[in-house]
Structure 1
Amino acid sequence: MTLVNTMEYNKDDLLDKVQEDAENLFRSGTYFCSEAVLQTINELLGKPYDENIVKLASGFPIGMGKAQCLCGAVSGGQMGLGIVYGRVEGEPMKDKMFDVSKKLHDYIIDEYKSTCCRVITRKWQGDDFKSPERKEHCITITGMVARWVANELIEDNKIQVGR
């Protein structure tokens, strides 16, 4: 995704673009799940951090370094939310950070009954994460999480849309 003037999009079209961009970053092999979500959200926000921010997400794919624990897309989404709601030294924690983080967690629980990579991908256990079907499943989750984060930011007026 390149920087985009969000005012040129209505909400649904922008959300479609965010989802597609995150999915394409993963599908192309440019990034894995956590990296694709974080990079897409950073770019959507006008790159408050340079492209090196994606390095922060590089340890999270396949459930934290292939441990198959917390879904990498969810990790990337949480980092994306932190761009907007996070804090720096000396600042008080914003209640909104906890609220929106839990909301993302609960969204994935509602969709997949877990945030654990090994549970979400259990259908492909034993394929060492190599099947095209498993990859497509994870690409879908990556796009869903990026879209969810973008929607929350739009709903909270952190991202403006036009039309």
Structure 2
Amino acid sequence: MSDARQTRDPASEAVIAAIADRARNFYETRQMLCTEAVVAALNQGLGGGLTEAQATAVSAPFCIAMGESGCVCGALSGAVMATGLLLGKDGAFLHRQSMRDSARQLHDRFKFANGATCCRVLSRKVKHNKKEHFQQCAGLTAQAAEMAARLVLEKRPELVKQADNAFINRRQSSIGGVLSRLVHLFSR
């Protein structure tokens, strides 16, 4: 686990691990980029209420460090976005301060674990090796999804009972990822 604070609830831990693995699978099969993978895994996995298209629409601009700017890590952006969605779903205006506090916690936990939140800094040592860069980003995607899931379930433990286990435990091969992308492209 990337975070020392564990819920110790086996059901929560299973959901957290499955969400992290699902986000990694989305990324590794090239169905989604970092931000999209984190948002999609948490939204669908914990009942955020967005359609797949809506989740992609709000998260796509943040991929590859905010539109390829190299700034904030896309995985972290996705984690913050999904946490806000899930913590603010039932009364966003009442929970704005809590959502901001959660964003800061995610930022601080991610920075502590990785030494930075800036994509340029995080990828500096691997940017010239496509395979290492890809694997690092897949790992950061899984880690950010795990951190967000843990934070959400710490604050809203009832969501574990509503988790879409069929979705979060589904894995696709690289070929399955290609087929999924093609379906999305041609289903417009």
TM-score class, shorter: 0.7 to 0.9
**8 Å CA contact 2:87, 2:152 repeated in 1:** no
TM-score normalised to the size of structure 2? 0.73
Task: Report the Cα distance in structure 1 between the residues aligned to 2:95 and 2:47, rounded to whole angstroms.
Answer: 24
Structure 1 counterpart SS, 2:125: helix
Would you say the 8 A contact 2:61–2:67 is kept in 1? yes
Q: Which has the higher helix share?
A: 2
Hey, what's the Cα distance between the residues in 2 that align with 1:153 and 1:32? 22
CA contact (8 A) 2:15 2:160 kept: no
Equivalent in 67, 91, 94 of residue 93 of structure 2 = 91
Distance 1:150 1:121 in 2: 24
Q: Deviations over 1:36-89 (max 9, x none)?
A: 00000101122511111211111112211111100000111111012123479x
Quote the residue 2:51 is aligned against.
Answer: 50
**C-alpha contact (below 8 Å) 2:62/2:77 kept by paired residues:** yes
Q: How many residues align?
A: 151
Amino acid paired to 1:15: I
User: Which whole-Å deviations, capped at 9, do the CAs of 1:8-50 have from their partners, x for residues lacking one?
Assistant: x712222221111000000000000000000001011225111
Alpha-carbon distance between aligned partners in 1 of 2:18 and 2:150, rounded to the nearest angstrom = 12
Deviates more, 1:153-162 or 1:142-151: 153-162
Asked if 2 retains the 8 angstrom alpha-carbon contact of 1:45 and 1:159, the reply is yes
How far, CA to CA, are the matches of 1:131 and 1:158 in structure 2?
Answer: 40
Partner amino acid for 2:16?
Answer: L
Confirm or deny: 8 A CA contact 1:16 1:147 kept in the other structure.
yes
Please say if residues 85 and 94 of structure 1, whose CA atoms lie closer than 8 Å, have aligned partners that are also in contact. Answer: no
Q: Deviations over 1:94-130 (max 9, x none)?
A: 22111110000001110122110000111023x3xx6
Are 1:121 and 2:123 counterparts?
yes
Aligned residue in 1 for 2:138:
139
Contact conserved, 1:22 with 1:142, CA < 8 A, in 2?
yes
What pairs with 1:104-119 in structure 2 (closer than 5 Å)?
104-119=106-121
Contiguous gaps of at least 5 residues in structure 2: 1-9, 163-188
- Cα contact 2:43–2:86 (8 A) shared by 1: no
Match of 1:41 in 2: 42
Cα pair 1:36 1:142 within 8 Å, conserved: yes
Which residue in 2 is equivalent to 1:6? none
Residue segments in structure 1 that go unaligned for 5+ positions in a row? 1-8
Post-superposition offset of 1:161 = 4.6
* Aligned 8 A contact 1:87 1:93 in 2: no
2:74 equivalent to 1:75: no
RMSD: 2.3
